[in-house]
Amino acid sequence: MQRRRKVIFDTDPSPDDAVAFLSAIASREELEVLAITTVAGNVPVELTTCNALKALELAGVTEVPVYAGASEPLVRRLVTAEHVHGRTGFDGYDLPTPKRQAGTKFAPDAIVELVMAQPAGSVTLCCLAPLTNVALALAREPKLAEHLEEIVLMGGSCFEGGNITAAAEFNFFVDPEAAARVFRSGVPITMIPLDCTHQALLTEERLRVLREAGTPVGTAFYHLLEFNKRFDRGKYGWEGGPLHDATVTAFLLQPELFAGRRVHVGIECASTLTLGASVVDWWSVSGQQANATVLRSVDGEGYIQLIFERLLRL
Protein backbone atom coordinates (compact mmCIF):
# COMPACT_ATOMS: atom_id res chain seq x y z
CA MET A 1 0.00 0.00 0.00
CA GLN A 2 1.20 3.51 -0.86
CA ARG A 3 2.31 5.48 2.23
CA ARG A 4 0.36 8.62 3.13
CA ARG A 5 2.72 11.42 2.19
CA LYS A 6 3.17 14.35 4.63
CA VAL A 7 3.15 17.76 2.93
CA ILE A 8 3.28 21.47 3.77
CA PHE A 9 1.90 24.02 1.29
CA ASP A 10 3.68 27.37 1.06
CA THR A 11 1.35 29.68 -0.85
CA ASP A 12 0.08 33.17 -1.78
CA PRO A 13 -3.61 32.51 -2.50
CA SER A 14 -5.11 33.53 -5.48
CA PRO A 15 -7.72 30.90 -6.42
CA ASP A 16 -5.33 28.47 -8.20
CA ASP A 17 -3.29 28.21 -4.98
CA ALA A 18 -6.42 27.45 -2.98
CA VAL A 19 -7.50 24.76 -5.47
CA ALA A 20 -4.03 23.22 -5.01
CA PHE A 21 -4.15 22.91 -1.22
CA LEU A 22 -7.87 22.10 -0.95
CA SER A 23 -7.61 19.28 -3.48
CA ALA A 24 -4.65 17.95 -1.47
CA ILE A 25 -6.61 18.13 1.79
CA ALA A 26 -9.44 16.27 0.05
CA SER A 27 -6.99 13.50 -0.95
CA ARG A 28 -6.88 12.07 2.56
CA GLU A 29 -5.84 8.57 1.53
CA GLU A 30 -2.68 9.75 -0.22
CA LEU A 31 -1.74 13.05 1.47
CA GLU A 32 -1.56 14.47 4.98
CA VAL A 33 -1.41 18.27 4.91
CA LEU A 34 0.53 19.35 8.02
CA ALA A 35 0.14 23.10 7.53
CA ILE A 36 -0.48 25.95 5.12
CA THR A 37 2.13 28.71 5.26
CA THR A 38 1.52 32.03 3.54
CA VAL A 39 3.80 34.60 1.96
CA ALA A 40 3.55 37.90 0.11
CA GLY A 41 3.14 37.44 -3.63
CA ASN A 42 -0.06 37.84 -5.61
CA VAL A 43 -1.17 40.32 -2.91
CA PRO A 44 0.37 41.38 0.45
CA VAL A 45 0.74 38.67 3.09
CA GLU A 46 -2.18 39.91 5.25
CA LEU A 47 -4.47 39.23 2.26
CA THR A 48 -2.89 35.91 1.21
CA THR A 49 -3.32 34.72 4.82
CA CYS A 50 -6.93 35.89 4.90
CA ASN A 51 -7.59 34.15 1.56
CA ALA A 52 -6.10 30.88 2.82
CA LEU A 53 -8.36 31.02 5.88
CA LYS A 54 -11.40 31.92 3.76
CA ALA A 55 -10.79 28.95 1.45
CA LEU A 56 -10.39 26.53 4.36
CA GLU A 57 -13.54 27.79 6.08
CA LEU A 58 -15.51 27.57 2.84
CA ALA A 59 -14.51 23.89 2.65
CA GLY A 60 -15.19 23.26 6.36
CA VAL A 61 -11.54 22.43 7.07
CA THR A 62 -10.65 23.26 10.68
CA GLU A 63 -7.77 20.89 11.46
CA VAL A 64 -5.03 22.29 9.20
CA PRO A 65 -3.04 25.14 10.82
CA VAL A 66 -2.18 28.32 8.91
CA TYR A 67 0.97 30.36 9.59
CA ALA A 68 1.74 33.75 8.05
CA GLY A 69 5.24 34.40 6.77
CA ALA A 70 7.36 36.97 4.98
CA SER A 71 5.79 40.27 3.98
CA GLU A 72 8.65 41.24 1.63
CA PRO A 73 11.07 39.36 -0.65
CA LEU A 74 14.61 38.80 0.73
CA VAL A 75 16.19 41.90 -0.80
CA ARG A 76 13.74 43.53 -3.20
CA ARG A 77 10.51 45.51 -3.10
CA LEU A 78 7.40 43.36 -3.36
CA VAL A 79 5.76 43.11 -6.79
CA THR A 80 2.10 41.97 -6.66
CA ALA A 81 -0.44 40.76 -9.24
CA GLU A 82 -3.71 42.60 -8.54
CA HIS A 83 -4.01 43.07 -12.31
CA VAL A 84 -4.65 39.30 -12.54
CA HIS A 85 -6.49 38.38 -9.33
CA GLY A 86 -8.09 41.69 -8.30
CA ARG A 87 -7.47 43.88 -5.25
CA THR A 88 -8.13 41.11 -2.71
CA GLY A 89 -6.38 38.33 -4.65
CA PHE A 90 -9.74 36.56 -4.45
CA ASP A 91 -11.95 38.88 -6.55
CA GLY A 92 -14.91 37.36 -8.35
CA TYR A 93 -16.79 35.85 -5.40
CA ASP A 94 -17.41 37.25 -1.92
CA LEU A 95 -16.47 34.88 0.87
CA PRO A 96 -17.19 35.77 4.52
CA THR A 97 -14.47 37.20 6.75
CA PRO A 98 -12.82 34.13 8.32
CA LYS A 99 -13.56 33.35 11.97
CA ARG A 100 -10.25 31.58 12.52
CA GLN A 101 -6.93 33.42 12.74
CA ALA A 102 -3.46 32.32 11.65
CA GLY A 103 -1.23 30.69 14.29
CA THR A 104 1.24 32.90 16.11
CA LYS A 105 4.41 31.29 14.69
CA PHE A 106 6.28 32.95 11.80
CA ALA A 107 5.87 30.66 8.77
CA PRO A 108 9.61 29.91 8.20
CA ASP A 109 9.89 28.90 11.90
CA ALA A 110 6.78 26.74 11.60
CA ILE A 111 8.25 25.01 8.51
CA VAL A 112 11.50 24.25 10.36
CA GLU A 113 9.72 22.96 13.48
CA LEU A 114 7.18 20.82 11.62
CA VAL A 115 9.74 19.23 9.29
CA MET A 116 12.41 18.62 11.96
CA ALA A 117 9.81 16.98 14.25
CA GLN A 118 9.19 14.26 11.62
CA PRO A 119 11.58 11.47 10.57
CA ALA A 120 14.19 12.51 7.97
CA GLY A 121 12.96 12.21 4.38
CA SER A 122 9.29 12.16 5.28
CA VAL A 123 8.00 15.70 4.55
CA THR A 124 7.56 17.31 1.13
CA LEU A 125 7.32 21.09 0.72
CA CYS A 126 4.81 22.13 -1.91
CA CYS A 127 5.66 25.64 -3.08
CA LEU A 128 3.12 27.72 -4.97
CA ALA A 129 4.51 31.22 -4.49
CA PRO A 130 7.66 33.34 -4.26
CA LEU A 131 10.18 31.21 -2.33
CA THR A 132 10.93 33.74 0.46
CA ASN A 133 9.64 31.60 3.36
CA VAL A 134 11.48 28.52 2.10
CA ALA A 135 14.78 30.40 1.71
CA LEU A 136 14.41 31.83 5.24
CA ALA A 137 13.66 28.39 6.67
CA LEU A 138 16.72 26.90 4.91
CA ALA A 139 18.87 29.73 6.27
CA ARG A 140 17.54 29.31 9.82
CA GLU A 141 18.10 25.54 10.04
CA PRO A 142 21.06 24.19 8.05
CA LYS A 143 19.87 20.59 8.61
CA LEU A 144 16.51 21.31 6.98
CA ALA A 145 17.81 20.67 3.43
CA GLU A 146 18.84 17.09 4.14
CA HIS A 147 15.82 16.44 6.36
CA LEU A 148 13.25 17.24 3.65
CA GLU A 149 12.02 14.52 1.34
CA GLU A 150 11.54 16.84 -1.63
CA ILE A 151 10.39 20.25 -2.83
CA VAL A 152 7.73 20.26 -5.55
CA LEU A 153 7.20 23.77 -6.85
CA MET A 154 5.27 25.70 -9.46
CA GLY A 155 7.53 28.35 -10.91
CA GLY A 156 9.85 29.33 -13.70
CA SER A 157 9.81 28.62 -17.35
CA CYS A 158 11.80 26.40 -19.66
CA PHE A 159 11.05 27.28 -23.32
CA GLU A 160 7.84 29.22 -22.71
CA GLY A 161 9.14 32.75 -21.95
CA GLY A 162 7.81 34.77 -19.03
CA ASN A 163 4.40 35.85 -17.76
CA ILE A 164 5.41 38.94 -15.74
CA THR A 165 8.35 40.02 -17.89
CA ALA A 166 9.40 38.68 -21.29
CA ALA A 167 11.87 36.37 -19.54
CA ALA A 168 10.54 35.58 -16.06
CA GLU A 169 7.68 33.72 -14.45
CA PHE A 170 5.96 35.60 -11.57
CA ASN A 171 6.98 33.45 -8.55
CA PHE A 172 10.69 33.54 -9.42
CA PHE A 173 10.60 37.19 -10.54
CA VAL A 174 9.17 38.38 -7.20
CA ASP A 175 12.03 36.87 -5.19
CA PRO A 176 14.87 35.69 -7.45
CA GLU A 177 17.41 35.55 -4.60
CA ALA A 178 15.12 33.21 -2.66
CA ALA A 179 14.64 31.00 -5.72
CA ALA A 180 18.42 30.90 -6.30
CA ARG A 181 18.93 29.93 -2.64
CA VAL A 182 16.44 27.06 -2.95
CA PHE A 183 17.99 25.70 -6.16
CA ARG A 184 21.43 25.76 -4.51
CA SER A 185 20.18 23.98 -1.37
CA GLY A 186 20.70 20.37 -2.42
CA VAL A 187 17.06 19.47 -1.65
CA PRO A 188 15.61 17.21 -4.41
CA ILE A 189 13.44 19.59 -6.48
CA THR A 190 10.67 18.98 -8.98
CA MET A 191 9.96 22.19 -10.89
CA ILE A 192 6.67 22.64 -12.76
CA PRO A 193 7.14 25.61 -15.11
CA LEU A 194 4.80 27.60 -17.35
CA ASP A 195 5.56 25.07 -20.12
CA CYS A 196 3.31 22.62 -18.26
CA THR A 197 0.69 24.97 -16.88
CA HIS A 198 0.08 26.52 -20.31
CA GLN A 199 -1.05 23.04 -21.41
CA ALA A 200 -3.77 22.98 -18.75
CA LEU A 201 -6.40 25.57 -19.60
CA LEU A 202 -9.64 26.35 -17.78
CA THR A 203 -12.01 26.27 -20.72
CA GLU A 204 -15.70 27.05 -20.22
CA GLU A 205 -16.45 23.34 -20.65
CA ARG A 206 -13.99 22.30 -17.92
CA LEU A 207 -15.18 25.02 -15.52
CA ARG A 208 -18.80 23.98 -15.99
CA VAL A 209 -18.12 20.88 -13.87
CA LEU A 210 -17.64 23.17 -10.86
CA ARG A 211 -20.76 25.22 -11.50
CA GLU A 212 -22.93 22.17 -12.12
CA ALA A 213 -21.79 20.51 -8.89
CA GLY A 214 -23.94 23.13 -7.14
CA THR A 215 -21.98 22.83 -3.88
CA PRO A 216 -20.59 25.85 -1.95
CA VAL A 217 -17.01 24.89 -2.94
CA GLY A 218 -17.92 24.23 -6.60
CA THR A 219 -19.90 27.48 -6.95
CA ALA A 220 -17.26 29.66 -5.25
CA PHE A 221 -14.38 28.27 -7.31
CA TYR A 222 -16.38 28.45 -10.52
CA HIS A 223 -16.71 32.23 -10.01
CA LEU A 224 -13.18 32.80 -8.65
CA LEU A 225 -11.54 30.93 -11.54
CA GLU A 226 -13.90 32.50 -14.06
CA PHE A 227 -12.64 35.94 -12.86
CA ASN A 228 -9.02 34.85 -13.54
CA LYS A 229 -9.99 33.38 -16.88
CA ARG A 230 -11.23 36.75 -18.17
CA PHE A 231 -7.80 38.31 -17.63
CA ASP A 232 -5.94 35.37 -19.12
CA ARG A 233 -8.22 35.12 -22.14
CA GLY A 234 -7.54 38.76 -22.95
CA LYS A 235 -3.80 38.33 -22.41
CA TYR A 236 -3.16 35.11 -24.30
CA GLY A 237 -6.14 34.90 -26.65
CA TRP A 238 -6.65 31.28 -25.58
CA GLU A 239 -10.02 29.69 -24.82
CA GLY A 240 -9.18 29.67 -21.12
CA GLY A 241 -6.47 30.63 -18.63
CA PRO A 242 -3.96 28.20 -17.08
CA LEU A 243 -4.63 26.50 -13.73
CA HIS A 244 -1.05 26.87 -12.49
CA ASP A 245 -0.57 25.78 -8.89
CA ALA A 246 -2.72 22.68 -8.65
CA THR A 247 -0.22 20.97 -10.97
CA VAL A 248 1.83 20.47 -7.78
CA THR A 249 -0.96 18.46 -6.14
CA ALA A 250 -1.64 16.52 -9.34
CA PHE A 251 2.04 15.59 -9.56
CA LEU A 252 1.97 14.20 -6.01
CA LEU A 253 -1.17 12.19 -6.76
CA GLN A 254 -0.45 11.01 -10.31
CA PRO A 255 3.12 11.75 -11.46
CA GLU A 256 2.48 9.73 -14.64
CA LEU A 257 0.39 12.67 -15.95
CA PHE A 258 3.69 14.58 -16.40
CA ALA A 259 6.94 14.15 -18.33
CA GLY A 260 10.30 15.87 -17.85
CA ARG A 261 14.00 15.31 -17.20
CA ARG A 262 16.82 15.91 -14.69
CA VAL A 263 18.68 19.13 -15.52
CA HIS A 264 20.59 22.02 -14.00
CA VAL A 265 18.53 25.15 -13.26
CA GLY A 266 20.07 28.53 -12.46
CA ILE A 267 18.17 31.67 -11.49
CA GLU A 268 19.12 35.07 -12.91
CA CYS A 269 19.60 37.59 -10.07
CA ALA A 270 21.65 40.34 -11.71
CA SER A 271 20.43 41.34 -15.17
CA THR A 272 17.64 43.91 -15.25
CA LEU A 273 16.56 42.54 -18.62
CA THR A 274 16.08 38.92 -17.52
CA LEU A 275 15.76 39.19 -13.71
CA GLY A 276 14.16 36.09 -12.18
CA ALA A 277 14.48 33.99 -15.35
CA SER A 278 15.07 30.28 -14.81
CA VAL A 279 17.97 29.17 -16.98
CA VAL A 280 17.24 25.51 -17.68
CA ASP A 281 20.11 23.49 -19.17
CA TRP A 282 17.76 21.22 -21.11
CA TRP A 283 20.50 19.89 -23.44
CA SER A 284 23.13 19.44 -20.67
CA VAL A 285 25.63 21.78 -22.32
CA SER A 286 26.79 23.63 -19.18
CA GLY A 287 28.61 20.75 -17.53
CA GLN A 288 26.83 21.65 -14.28
CA GLN A 289 25.36 18.83 -12.23
CA ALA A 290 21.57 18.46 -12.35
CA ASN A 291 19.82 20.05 -9.37
CA ALA A 292 16.17 19.56 -10.38
CA THR A 293 13.69 17.56 -12.38
CA VAL A 294 11.95 19.96 -14.74
CA LEU A 295 8.57 18.83 -16.06
CA ARG A 296 7.76 20.04 -19.55
CA SER A 297 4.47 18.42 -20.47
CA VAL A 298 1.23 17.39 -18.80
CA ASP A 299 -1.94 15.59 -19.82
CA GLY A 300 -4.08 18.72 -19.35
CA GLU A 301 -7.43 16.94 -19.49
CA GLY A 302 -6.37 14.23 -17.03
CA TYR A 303 -4.92 16.84 -14.68
CA ILE A 304 -8.00 19.07 -14.50
CA GLN A 305 -10.37 16.12 -14.18
CA LEU A 306 -8.31 14.72 -11.29
CA ILE A 307 -8.08 18.03 -9.44
CA PHE A 308 -11.74 18.97 -9.80
CA GLU A 309 -12.84 15.50 -8.73
CA ARG A 310 -10.75 15.89 -5.54
CA LEU A 311 -11.82 19.51 -4.92
CA LEU A 312 -15.49 18.56 -5.20
CA ARG A 313 -15.09 15.94 -2.47
CA LEU A 314 -15.10 18.87 -0.01
Rounded Cα distance between 134 and 41, Å, is 13
According to DSSP, the β-strands at 66-68 and 123-127 are: unpaired
Q: For the CB of residue 81, give the shortest distance to Ca ion in the complex, in Å.
A: 9
Of 16-35, binders to Ca ion (CB under 5 A) are 17
Query: Is residue 154 part of the contact set for ligand BDR (CB under 6 A)?
Result: yes
Query: Is residue 129 part of the contact set for Ca ion (CB under 5 A)?
Result: yes
Query: Is residue 14 part of the contact set for ligand BDR (CB under 6 A)?
Result: yes
56-95 footprint of ligand BDR as x/- string (CB under 6 A) = -------------------------x--x-----------
| Buried b / exposed e along 176-201 (16+ C-beta atoms within 10 A) | bbbbbbbbebebbbbbbbbbbbbbbb
Triad 18, 92, 73: Cα angle to 5°: 50
Query: Is residue 206 part of the contact set for ligand BDR (CB under 6 A)?
Result: no
Query: Is residue 128 part of the contact set for ligand BDR (CB under 6 A)?
Result: yes
Query: Is residue 245 part of the contact set for ligand BDR (CB under 6 A)?
Result: yes
Cβ atoms of 126 and 248 closer than 8 Å: yes
SS (H, E, C) 167-207: CCCHHHHHCHHHHHHHHCCCCCEEEECHHHHCCCEECHHHH
Q: Among 125, 311, 296, which residue's Cα sits nearest to residue 202?
A: 311
**Using the rule CB under 6 A, which residue among 105, 244, 264, 310 binds ligand BDR?**
244
Q: What are the start-end ranges of the H helices in 26-100?
A: 45-58, 82-85
Q: Among 34, 28, 36, 35, which residue's Cα sits nearest to residue 4?
A: 28
Rounded Cα distance between 37 and 52, Å, is 9
147 is catalytic: no
Between 15 and 260, CB nearer to ligand BDR: 15
Between 105 and 174, CB nearer to ligand BDR: 174
231-270 footprint of Ca ion as x/- string (CB under 5 A) = --------------x-------------------------
**Using the rule CB under 6 A, which residue among 149, 169, 195, 226 binds ligand BDR?**
169
Residues annotated as part of the active site = 244
Contact residues for ligand BDR, defined by CB under 6 A: 14, 16-17, 42, 81, 84, 128-129, 154, 163, 169-171, 244-245
Contact residues for Ca ion, defined by CB under 5 A: 12, 17, 128-129, 245
